[in-house]
Every structure is written in structure tokens, then in C-alpha cells.
Amino acid sequence: MPGRKLSKADLVALARFRCWLRRFLRLTREVPRRNGVTALQYRLLLQIDAFPGREWSTVPELAERLQIKHHSVEALISRCETAGLVSYSATRGDERRVEVRLTPSGKRCLECAGRLHRDELVEASRFFVPGFGQDA
């Protein structure tokens, strides 16, 4: 309803949502650090393990999903490999394509940080309820 004036309830809901969003973004920076990785390393681990239909990803796919340059993804993968979080190998049948996978250590790190983020998203579901933004 583009022309409708904001109600007090709308403003309260928006303020609560913005507060939750800031808390979630702060957690997104802090939780990975508590697990010994940077926020970007955590995002890489998440994108590798969450790739639809398989347990690995390629460098171009990760660059797209992380919205960073190809060479930056390669450097990030290298740092994560040094930390024991990922491994990579050439794809069977295509030596030019590399499959990046989580190591058991990477999976444990992702599980710890991911559990806290999931709990926050469950809490966020209360912001996306029918009736928000509509007159009572």
C-alpha cells in the first residue's frame, strides 16, 4: 500500500526489526571470530557446504555467491586451506575445474557458528508475520 501513512504499529515493528537486524549483523562478525575464523572465511565455508545438490563448490561458483572477484576467492581458499578448513582437488575428467570441499575441521567450525545463526533466524521469523504493514 504505497500511499498509506505509516501507523504507530508499523513504526514500532520497523524499529524492532532494525534492532534485530543490527544484532544479527553484529553476530555475523563476532560468532565466526569466536570459532577462530573471519566472517569472510565463515561465509566461504557456508557457501561451500550449502551448495544445492552437492558437498563441494567451484571457484567461479563461490565468486558469484560471495560477490567477490575470482582471484580474491582463490586467496581466501588458500588461507582456509592453510588453516585446515578446506581442501581442493581437480574435478575428475576436467583438470581445469577445482572442487573445494570442507575438511572435518571446517565442518565443525561451520556447525558451531551456523547453529547460532540459525537460532537467530528462528527468532527473526516473528518479524515476517501476516498483517505487518497493514491497518489493524
Residue for grid cell 572477484: 69
DSSP 67-126: TS-HHHHHHHHHHHHHTTSEEEEEETTEEEEEEEEE-HHHHHHHHHHHHHHHHHHHHHGG
How far CA 7 is from CA of 14, 17, 43, 124, 125, in Å, comes to: 11, 15, 37, 21, 21
What is the pLDDT, as a whole number, of residue 132?
Answer: 46
What is the pLDDT, as a whole number, of residue 136?
Answer: 43
pLDDT tens track, the chain, 136 positions: 567 788 888 888 888 888 888 988 888 888 888 888 898 999 999 999 998 999 999 999 999 999 999 999 999 999 999 999 999 987 776 667 889 999 999 999 898 887 777 777 777 776 665 554 444 4
What is the pLDDT, as a whole number, of residue 1?
Answer: 52
Question: Residue 57 gets which letter from DSSP?
Answer: E
How far out from the chain centre does Cα 7 lie? 33
User: Which run of H or of E encompasses 43?
Assistant: helix 39-49
Structure pTM?
A: 0.74
What is the pLDDT, as a whole number, of residue 133?
Answer: 44
86-91 vs 56-57, strand pairing mode = unpaired
Domain with residues 8-127, CATH architecture: Orthogonal Bundle (1.10)
29 torsion bin: left (phi>0), alpha (psi -120 to 50), beta (else):
alpha
Domains of the chain, residue spans: 8-127
Which SS3 state, helix, strand or coil, does residue 30 take? helix
End-to-end CA gap in the chain: 14
Here the cell at position 26 is: 553484529
